[in-house]
A and B are shown apart, each in its own frame.
Chain A
Amino acid sequence: MGTPLLRVEDVGKNFGGLSALSNITFDIGDDEMVGLIGPNGAGKSTLIRIITSVLKPTYGTVKFKSRDITGLPISDIVNMGIASTAQIVKPFRRLPVISNAMVSCLCPRIRRTGDWVKSVELRARDALEFCGIADLALESASVLSHGDLKRLELARAIATEPELLLLDEPFGGLNQAETTLIAKSLRRLHKGGRFGRLHSEGPSMLIVEHKLADLMKIVDRVIVIDLGRIIAVGTPEEIVRNREVVKAYIGKEEGQLVS
């Protein structure tokens, strides 16, 4: 096996006295969809924020394509090909939805691809289309529902045409039908191809999600963390049967993780 796309090596994070993550080590392969699950407060969001350099780890390194990216500026990391969505949405509130996505199309990574001056609007619109919010393009982001903001967050991330996509609860605020739709779209995005003007190289993904039934359908592998430590890694089938995972989730040994 060659070098993995992303390698997280012995990463830990302390907030004051609280140890939010300790000794986290895992890889994400070149063409992989990985689920990251764990109870509330397990440290999932913190882990994503460390990979994208929003937070600095207390110790450990993050490598992307075998290059150490720990502590690089956020924008550099995005331009190398890592895009992410946040659990708590942070749109550009007073700008129209389409402009929100256009900002992502202005980054050097996209500008390198050529005819960007003219295609910024079209590209942004295709990203919105992909996420199913193209009809809201001209509305101000401040009037969107939480589910739509989640999808805008996703649109902004995929507009940078990443090679690695980190999603923090992408299905939050969506109803079942919308969740199924987005889950399918993510699967399609992962296969790669062109979506209008948007080009997808088939990014690897790391997806944090609480809607386990939907998540398990689209990922190849699942990493489970609890109290800042990895407690299990395996295929979705293995994970739903894993005693320890079930215990961490519902507090007792018996029970069904995914109904």
Chain B
Amino acid sequence: MSLDIKVEFSGGLELLFSNQRQHSVTIPSIDPTTSEPTRLQYLINYLRDNLLKERLELFVENDTVRPGILVLVNDTDWELEGEGDYVLKDGDEIVFISTLHGYAGSTIIPGRSIAQ
């Protein structure tokens, strides 16, 4: 059994994920590490380990998303859904919006090399 989850990054975060805002991921419905239904925390770890291209510290901190990144579960503030403990359902849409700075100036902006 697996879950198809739609993931969206914005606010600059997409630059860490191949400069692509929308991703579809398929993850197991039972978390192999806990043998329990898969929670949002598993997805965050999965994104970090599989989709994140660089600068880990701009996405996660202390095993959760970095403060200043808003997370929405099917358009609802994840703070109302139990944050990382939210149990994922097939077809869920998870949106990560950064309100932080510091994404620019790294080397990952395609086609925007600036002569020094």
Q: Do A and B bind each other?
A: no
Residues of B within 8 A of A (CB): none
